[in-house]
Structure 1
Amino acid sequence: MKQCTHLDALPHPEPAPLSETCLECQAAGTNPVQLRLCEVCGHVGCCDSSPLRHATEHFKETGHPVMRTLETGESWRWCFVDHVLV
């Protein structure tokens, strides 16, 4: 079973969300489907089911490897580098 090699390098405590929604979606006039939190810097972006996929774009621009869901009742994380749920 593949594991994430980036969890130990994440800040503790995790960063607070920098916004309540995906600001990139807001600026583009689109609606996010679900929100994701960057576990490195607190950036809030929309999921890959959203039209513009800002959480993935944030990873591509910054290299920040791990994000987590901001959806109520969910607690999973995703590592973009290792392609694994953590």
Structure 2
Amino acid sequence: MLIDTLLRSGLILVLIYLAWVDLRTFLLPNKVTYPLIALGLFFNTFTPYAFCDPQVAWLGALIGYFALYLINRIYRQFRRQDGL
């Protein structure tokens, strides 16, 4: 139980940090977001401390990435600049 509480507390602190950075700069640093994606997929796939099923985690990562990619491509098609 202690490990589960520590993991969740750490995740909450990192998300608060990301919200603060996003509020100030309107950008999320890749140095923080990419490792979080990898760690989330790792923990949901290989540890008993998973927040959801591994299939749901991988599907969510893929759908989330491609949804944002598609929005950016459509915006770029019409405005000739990146939208995200």
> Rg: which structure is higher?
2
- The two structures have a TM-score, normalised by structure 2, of 0.27
TM-score using structure 1 length: 0.27
Structure that is richer in strand per residue: 1
Higher relative contact order (CA 8 A, sep 6+): 1
